Structure formats: structure tokens, C-alpha cells
């Protein structure tokens, strides 16, 4: 690609003659920095942004501009971090105030990039560069890529679109480095620990874009970005050499403004492919698969030796899928503008599964699924791919075992009353949205800016299609979010099940004592029924008491198959008959109560062991209530 054309792609404002309100020398800049009111973020941001923007529009010597940019970088990083922190954790659509913070952060980082773009264009205008000047050009290119890459990262963190033309400039910066033979040159100032080359930084942005980061929660995006500083060097970026016909590659065109994507190439090596670069990620896929195997094969610490948290196994699987090739979901989608109702959270989902959209004071059974895919089984309580035998399988049923209600026996009196009463809670809110397209495994929703619906990645969704008054609601999760122009919010939904059934469940100890009870949902699936629960206190290996219609069960939670901070989705199996008999025997034992004297002794600080030893064995074989 012609260097002159590439240089024109790097957009900078016009520079005019003029002066800044301070001298550009180390002593004056140091005094100015020390005078910034860091406790007042708004004023600090105003002063730094104004000085940077004014300097980018004035004719300043290269030396003075480099001195200014170097002096301002700590303040730029500080302000950008504070703006990022202020914008995080908000549901979409973003409030107007938060949207302004996001835009200001983009503009600040863009002005920092402009400063180094001016340096870059100045160096490129010289016919020859020798020695240290080549190093200066490499640093300037890396600096531009650093700040443009920060805008990419901030866009993913806040689930907003990229500024127009951003990827075109990113491609041009890499192409200039490639043209000048600088892509393998490392930058100590603008890469992680000084170990990343210009090519590594570019490949990191490619891999980040191809990982579908809008699908992840913000903490996962940050961790992935850090890990890619290591992984990007395992990929090889090279010109397209023809290859086999109809091969699918990770492709980027250096003369385009589009992000990288998977494309089918035709195998013709020619002029039309001169600007095409292909990313070979086979070695990276092998690294990911090795990490998945290691984490699944043994108990792996949550943090690495260097203190960095590990990416969860479900995230690694998603990355392997994203970087291995395009999915077939897009080919199986159907266009359709359909009005739907959306409710958020487990409690709301349980309500609408039971009551439908119409407010009802009675618990009604959910209706049939809406066009369930062939691989989704009809909802029935099955464990380990076989129906549970209530007589012999270990689940306790009030209808089959003909015994008193477990709730009355195991729960505290207040909790037992709440457990057994009819669920006629106040109707949760649902919101009207419309679909863009849909498939058997998901859909895309558009939420108008006038809607009061606020949503975050990972939220559990209950989506009503067709006649929602009959209880026909799908259960899904917000897979990705993107705020579109006009403040409309676009949401990608992964459907977990085409139907579900609300249950009550609570974690219990080995004696069967149940703590707080929560709304949960039984979901069908081709691998068997799973249980959707709140994030806490449910966990793998916990024993849970579950009330399912007229049946009551003790179950043991298995693997949590969802990487979500909002809810858990557990495989489960029935507790053995031995465990159930133990619980029953425990609650058939007489209960020992402390006398007033013994309670007073406990208040004085005497140990329980001493009180029991003073009772001459009267407590042996009895339960106590403290």
C-alpha cells in the first residue's frame, strides 16, 4: 500500500501558529502538573483536556510536543481510569450523564493519539531516518496504536459502538509499521512490561475483536485483554498467499475501515489480495485447549503464580470457539420484527412462568413450549438421563411416602409458613421490546430509548413470545449488549430453554436443616434437567431441599455450567436413600432445650462443652436448638 495514501489515512487537525499559556520546558511542566487539583476530577480533566487539545492545533516543535505528551501521560491515564470507573456497572441504556463520561473518555484518548499521530506524520515526511530516529518512529506508531486500542477496549467495556473510522486508522498504523519494517520492534513505554512489539499490539486488538467481547462481563474483558498481551505473540500475521479454495481465514484488509472477521477466500493470489493479511491462530488454539484440559483435569488455583486470575473454563471454551472459525448461528437465523415482553431476574421469571402476563392470584402450571427445538426434551424431572424413581431413587415425595410435610419439620416456623403459602407476590414489571431476528438458540432484541428497561450482560431474562397470557415464556440470558445510535439498546439473547418451572429451594446441612429459601427454576435440556439458582449460597456439592409442585426432594448440586455473576445453573442428582434416612432419623430424635440457668451460663461465657459435661450425660443422643 502506498505510504502517502497510508499517511493521509492518519487524520490530524490543522495546526496554526500560536502559543500555549505555559512554557514547554521540564521545569514549567512540572510546576503545572503539581498545581493540578487532583481532588477535583472535573477541574483536572478540564485543564488537561484543554491543554492537550490546544497543543494539537498549534504548530509546536517535535521536541516540545514529545515533552508535553510525556508530561501529560500520567494525568491522561489517571483521568481515563477515573472516567472508566465512573461509567462501569451501569445497566443499559446508559444514563445521559454516564454517556457523556464515556464520550469524554474517548475524546481524551483520541487527543492523546492525535499528539503522537502528529509526531508520526512529521517523521514520515523526512526522506531518511537513521539510528535513533527509526526508534522514535516505532515508539510513535506504538503510542498511537496504544491510545487507539484503549478506545477499542473502552468501547467493549461500556458496550458502546466504536467511533467512526477507528479501525481504518488502526490498520493504517500497522501497515505503516510493516512498510517501514518496524512491526517486530518492541516499545518499552507503550506495551506491557516492554515486551510487546507493534505487531503483537495489533494482533492483540484483532484477537480481542474476534473474541466477541460484547458477550463478556467487564471483569472478563479486562482479564482477557491482559492475557492477550501474552497470547498475541503465539499468532502469525502474514500476507495472503492464495491458499486452498474456499478456505475460511481470520482476515483483515489493511485498506479498509472494518474490524477483522472470518472470510472465505477464493484462493487467487493477485492484486486484490495485496492488502489482505491472514492471522494463523493454530498455536493459540493449542494453548487454549491445553489450559482447558489442565483446569478440567485437576484442581487448579484460581490465580496463577504471578497473581493474575485465571480465565474460567467456560470462557476459555468460548474463546476456542470464537477463534476457531465462524459459527453457524448466523446462517440459521430468521429475520422478524416481533413484539415480545421481557422481564429480568429469577423472581420475575418464576412469576411469569407461573402466572403468564396477566396478573393472577393463583399458581398456574406453565403452558407448553413455543416451537421447542427437536433436541430439547420435554420438561420432566430427570437425573442422569433417566426418570427418577420416587420409590427407590432416593427422592422424598409427600405423595408417595405418605409422611408429614418436610417444610413443617425442617424449617423454622416463619420460613415454613412462607414456604407453603401460595405464591401470590406482587406482579414484577415486564417491558415491551422487539426482535430483529431469531433462531432456535437465541434472538436479537431492540429496546427503544423510551423504554424504562435497564439490562446488563449476564442478566437472566424471561421472554414472552406469542400469547404470553398462557405462560409461554422462554428463559434466556443477555449474551451481549451494544448501545446503538439514538440510544436504542441492542441485546443478544442466548435461549437457555423454551420453558421452565418455578420451584422453591434452599441449601441445607447434612442434618437437613434448611436456611433461606429462594425462587429457582427447573430447566429442560438435552443433557438432562438443570436448576437455575441465585448466585449465593448455592454451590457445587451443596445439599439442597427443593419443593417441586406436590413433591419435595433432597438433591446434591453438581457442576455449575454457567459462568455468570447473576445466577448459577447446576446439574444435580438425588441424594441417596441412606442420606435421606439419616436426615429423617436426625429429625426423629428428641430435642433438648437449655434451661434458664444454662442460658445464663452461656451468656457468662462458659463453653458449650462445659455445660454439656455438667449435665451428667442427660444430653446424649438428643438434638439441641442452639
144: in domain? yes
Residue 92 resides in a domain: yes
Q: Is residue 213 part of a domain?
A: no
So what's the pLDDT on residue 66? 92
The C-alpha atoms of residue 549 and residue 97 are separated, in whole angstroms, by: 47
Residue 446: give the domain boundaries.
Answer: 335-574
Rounded CA gap, 179 and 123, in Å? Answer: 14
Give me the pLDDT at residue 375, please.
Answer: 36
Task: Report yes or no on 488 lying in a domain.
Answer: yes
Residue 32 dihedral angles phi and psi, to the nearest 5°? -65, -45
Q: For residues 424 and 566, state if they share a domain.
A: yes
**Residue-wise over 148-162: b if at least 16 C-beta within 10 A, else e?**
bbbbbbbbbbbbbeb
Phi, psi of 358 (to 5 degrees): -75, 140
Q: Other C-beta atoms within 10 Å of 54: how many? A: 14
Same domain, 508 and 615: no
What confidence score (pLDDT) does residue 492 get?
A: 84
Judge if 476 and 598 occupy the same domain. Answer: no
Q: Give the model's pLDDT for residue 412.
A: 42
- CB distance 622 to 591 below 8 Å: yes
Rounded Cα gap, residues 528 and 386, in angstroms: 8
Distance CA(13)–CA(293), nearest Å, equals: 51
Say what the pLDDT of residue 97 is: 86
Measure the CA–CA gap between 525 and 106, rounded to whole angstroms.
43
β-pair type (236-239, 276-280): antiparallel
Burial class (CB in 10 A: 0-12, 13-18, 19+), 527: exposed
Where does a domain end: 190, 212, 230?
190
Residue 618 lies in a domain: yes
- Chain-centroid distance of CA 17 in Å reads 48
Provide the pLDDT for residue 119: 92
Answer with the one of 148, 174, 190 that is the final residue of a domain: 190
Is residue 266 a part of any domain in this protein? no
pLDDT at 267: 46
| CA–CA dist 238, 279 (Å, integer) | 7
Same domain? 386 vs 458:
yes
Q: Output the 3-class SS for 394-462.
A: CCCCHHHHCCCCHHHHHCCHHHHHHHHCCCCCCCCCCEEEEEEEECCCEEEEEECCCCCCCECCCCEEE
Question: What interhelical angle do 218-231 and 198-210 show, nearest 10?
Answer: 140
**Looking at the DSSP assignment, which residues form a beta bridge with residue 597?**
none
Strand pairing class (591-592; 623-624):
parallel
Report the interhelical angle of 313-324 vs 218-231 (nearest 10°): 60
Between CA 205 and CA 167 the distance in angstroms is: 10
Q: What is the DSSP letter of 590?
A: P
- Tell me, yes or no, whether 222 lies in a domain: no
- Give the start-end residues of each E strand in 330-419: 334-335, 339-344, 382-383, 386-387
Same domain, 494 and 620: no
CA distances from 436 to 214, 338, 455, 489 (A): 17, 8, 17, 12
CA distances to 13, 19, 54, 57, 510 from 16, rounded to whole Å, are 10, 10, 10, 6, 78
The pLDDT, as a whole number, for residue 588 is 63
* Beta strand 518-523 pairing with 442-447: unpaired
CB 503 within 8 A of CB 548: yes
Tell me: do 426 and 545 sit in the same domain: yes
> Residue 63: enclosing H or E segment and its boundaries?
helix 62-87
Same domain, 492 and 532: yes
CA 550 – CA 501 distance, rounded (Å)? 13
Return d(Cα 616, Cα 611) in angstroms, integer: 10
Q: Do 565 and 613 have their domain in common?
A: no
Same domain, 512 and 597: no
Residue 500 to residues 38, 220, 435, 540: CA-CA distances in angstroms? 53, 29, 21, 21
pTM over 0.85: no
Q: Are 575 and 543 in contact (CB under 8 A)?
A: yes
- Below-50 pLDDT ranges, the chain: 245-246, 267-268, 329-331, 358-424, 468-471, 616-626
Same domain, 495 and 598: no
- 508: in domain: yes
**What's the rounded Cα separation, in Å, for the pair 584 and 58?**
83
- The confidence score (pLDDT) of residue 404 equals 35
CA distance 1 to 318: 35
What domain count does the chain have?
3
Domain boundary among 130, 164, 190: 190
Same domain, residue pair 481 and 450: yes
**One domain for residues 60 and 92:** yes
Amino acid at each position: 500500500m502506498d505510504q502517502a495514501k497510508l499517511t493521509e489515512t492518519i487524520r490530524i487537525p490543522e495546526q496554526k501558529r500560536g502559543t500555549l499559556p505555559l512554557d514547554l520546558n521540564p521545569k514549567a511542566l512540572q510546576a503545572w502538573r503539581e498545581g493540578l487539583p487532583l481532588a477535583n476530577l472535573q477541574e483536572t480533566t478540564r485543564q488537561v483536556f484543554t491543554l492537550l487539545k490546544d497543543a494539537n492545533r498549534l504548530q509546536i516543535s517535535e521536541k516540545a510536543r514529545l515533552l508535553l505528551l510525556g508530561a501529560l501521560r500520567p494525568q491522561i491515564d489517571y483521568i481515563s481510569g477515573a472516567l472508566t470507573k465512573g461509567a462501569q456497572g451501569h445497566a443499559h441504556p446508559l444514563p445521559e450523564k454516564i454517556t457523556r463520561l464515556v464520550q469524554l473518555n474517548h475524546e481524551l484518548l483520541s487527543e492523546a493519539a492525535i499528539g503522537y499521530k502528529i509526531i508520526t506524520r512529521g517523521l514520515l515526511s523526512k526522506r531518511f531516518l537513521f539510528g535513533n530516529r527509526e526508534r522514535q518512529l516505532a515508539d510513535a506508531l506504538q503510542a498511537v496504536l496504544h491510545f487507539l486500542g484503549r478506545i477499542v477496549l473502552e468501547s467493549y467495556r461500556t458496550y458502546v459502538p466504536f467511533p467512526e473510522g477507528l479501525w481504518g486508522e488502526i490498520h493504517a498504523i500497522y501497515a505503516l509499521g510493516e512498510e517501514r519494517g518496524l512491526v517486530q520492534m518492541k516499545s518499552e513505554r507503550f506495551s506491557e512490561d516492554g515486551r510487546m512489539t507493534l505487531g503483537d499490539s495489533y494482533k492483540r486488538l484483532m484477537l480481542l475483536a474476534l473474541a466477541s467481547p460484547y458477550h463478556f462481563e467487564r471483569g472478563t474483558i479486562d482479564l482477557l485483554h491482559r492475557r492477550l498481551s501474552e497470547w498475541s505473540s503465539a499468532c502469525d500475521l502474514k500476507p495472503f498467499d492464495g491458499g486452498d479454495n474456499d478456505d475460511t481465514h481470520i482476515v483483515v484488509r489493511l485498506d479498509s475501515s472494518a474490524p477483522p472477521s472470518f472470510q472465505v477466500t477464493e484462493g487467487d493470489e493477485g492484486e486484490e489480495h495485496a492488502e489482505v493479511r491472514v492471522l494463523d491462530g493454530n498455536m493459540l488454539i493449542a494453548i487454549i485447549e491445553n489450559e482447558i484440559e489442565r483446569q478440567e483435569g485437576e484442581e487448579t488455583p484460581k490465580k496463577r503464580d504471578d497473581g493474575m486470575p485465571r480465565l474460567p473454563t467456560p470462557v476459555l471454551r468460548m474463546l476456542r470457539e470464537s477463534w476457531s472459525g465462524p459459527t453457524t448461528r448466523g446462517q440459521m437465523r430468521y429475520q422478524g420484527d416481533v413484539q415480545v415482553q421481557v422481564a429480568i431476574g429469577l423472581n420475575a421469571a418464576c412469576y411469569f412462568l407461573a402466572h403468564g402476563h396477566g396478573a393472577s392470584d393463583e399458581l398456574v402450571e406453565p403452558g407448553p413450549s413455543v416451537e421447542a427445538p427437536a433436541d430439547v426434551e420435554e420438561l420432566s424431572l430427570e437425573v442422569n438421563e433417566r426418570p427418577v424413581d420416587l420409590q427407590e431413587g432416593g427422592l422424598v415425595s409427600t405423595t408417595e411416602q405418605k409422611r408429614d410435610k418436610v417444610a413443617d419439620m425442617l424449617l423454622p416456623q416463619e420460613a415454613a409458613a412462607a414456604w407453603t403459602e401460595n405464591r401470590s407476590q406482587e406482579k414484577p414489571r415486564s417491558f415491551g421490546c422487539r426482535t430483529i431476528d431469531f433462531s432456535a438458540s437465541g434472538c436479537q432484541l431492540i429496546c427503544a430509548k423510551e423504554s424504562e428497561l435497564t439490562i446488563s450482560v449476564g442478566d437472566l431474562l424471561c421472554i414472552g413470545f406469542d400469547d404470553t397470557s398462557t405462560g409461554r415464556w422462554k428463559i434466556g440470558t443477555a449474551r451481549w449488549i451494544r448501545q446503538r445510535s439514538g440510544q436504542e439498546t441492542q441485546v443478544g439473547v442466548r435461549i437457555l430453554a423454551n420453558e421452565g418451572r418455578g420451584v422453591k429451594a434452599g441449601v441445607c446441612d447434612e442434618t437437613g436443616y434448611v436456611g433461606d429459601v429462594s425462587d429457582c427454576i427447573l430447566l429442560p435440556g438435552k443433557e438432562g434437567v438443570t436448576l437455575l439458582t441465585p448466585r449465593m449460597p448455592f454451590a457445587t456439592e451443596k445439599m439442597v431441599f427443593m419443593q417441586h409442585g406436590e413433591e419435595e426432594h433432597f438433591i446434591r448440586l453438581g457442576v455449575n455450567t454457567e459462568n455468570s455473576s447473576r445466577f448459577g445453573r447446576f446439574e444435580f442428582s438425588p441424594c441417596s436413600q441412606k442420606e435421606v434416612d439419616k436426615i429423617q432419623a436426625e429429625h426423629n430424635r428428641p430435642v433438648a432445650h437449655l434451661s434458664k440457668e444454662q442460658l445464663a451460663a452461656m451468656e457468662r461465657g462458659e463453653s458449650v462443652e462445659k455445660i454439656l459435661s455438667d449435665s451428667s450425660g442427660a444430653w446424649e443422643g438428643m438434638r439441641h436448638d442452639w
